[in-house]
């Protein structure tokens, strides 16, 4: 709402001065408004501001006034430039913000793995704490309902999250990022260390559509490996 209204208010405020201000100057001011709208991180806000700014600029500040009609060739070029620059600035700022968000997310994943590695390094007596900690992280990371550890791996679950982050069901790779994790069955994530299976996490996503990315699923595998390392250490200490 504000993204479209602000250019209109600014153009209306400049009406008393439009005879003394170059149209290119007012257009430049509107570009700044569009960039400010795009900087909010809402992609459509910059686009709405760009389109609204161009229309209001034509209506209030170009002749014939109070019409969205431009008769001057120079003003037509300025209007086109205002729209294109506004939309381009929106795209650039949105892409930059998206990259930054992705980088922040990757750092969070890394911090989670490092925290778990620190717990493992604290000693074999913390195995239960490691398992509980990783289960909680998996719930948050994957956006699932529940996750619990099972030391019995004799019966395979209908679906599995495997080493490369793929989710497999009945021999087929699932398009998780499009359709989400299965909601009608548990998904097993086996816990390995040095080629030995030490148990598995059973992932439950029954009440929501969880859409973890491939990167998130690979982090989940890495977290499970930390549990494998902890269990292997505990086994050697016995």
Q: pLDDT for 214-234, tens place per residue?
A: 988 998 998 898 888 888 877
Q: Which residues contact 2 (CB under 8 A, 6 or more apart)?
A: 37
| Type and span of the H or E element at 197 | strand 196-204
pLDDT at 67 over 50: yes
Structure pTM?
Answer: 0.58
| pLDDT score for 183 | 94
Integer angstrom CA distances of residue 24 from 27, 77, 79, 151, 228: 5, 10, 9, 71, 66
- Select from 119, 138, 143, 116 the least CA-distant residue to 200: 138
Interval 2-13: pLDDT, tens:
556 777 788 888
Per DSSP, 194 falls in state T
pLDDT at 149 over 70: yes
């Amino acid at each position: 709402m504000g993204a479209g209204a602000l250019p209109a208010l600014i153009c209306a405020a400049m009406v008393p001065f439009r005879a003394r201000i170059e149209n290119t100057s007012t257009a430049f001011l509107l570009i700044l408004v569009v960039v400010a709208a795009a900087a909010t991180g809402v992609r459509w806000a910059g686009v709405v501001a760009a389109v609204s700014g161009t229309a209001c600029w034509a209506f209030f500040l170009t002749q014939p006034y109070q019409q969205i009609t431009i008769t001057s060739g120079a003003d037509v070029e300025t209007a086109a430039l205002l729209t294109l620059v506004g939309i381009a600035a929106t795209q650039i700022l949105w892409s930059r913000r998206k990259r930054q968000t992705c980088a922040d997310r990757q750092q969070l994943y890394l911090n989670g793995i490092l925290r778990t590695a620190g717990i493992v390094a604290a000693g074999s007596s913390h195995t239960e704490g490691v398992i509980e900690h990783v289960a909680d992280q998996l719930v948050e990371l994957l956006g699932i309902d529940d996750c619990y550890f099972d030391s019995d791996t004799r019966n395979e679950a209908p679906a599995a999250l495997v080493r490369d982050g793929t989710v497999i069901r009945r021999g087929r790779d699932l398009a998780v990022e499009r359709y989400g994790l299965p909601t009608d069955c548990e998904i097993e994530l086996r816990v390995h260390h040095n080629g030995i299976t030490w148990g598995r996490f059973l992932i439950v996503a029954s009440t929501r559509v969880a859409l973890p990315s491939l990167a998130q699923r690979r982090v989940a595998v890495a977290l499970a490996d930390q549990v494998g390392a902890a269990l292997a250490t505990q086994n050697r200490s016995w």
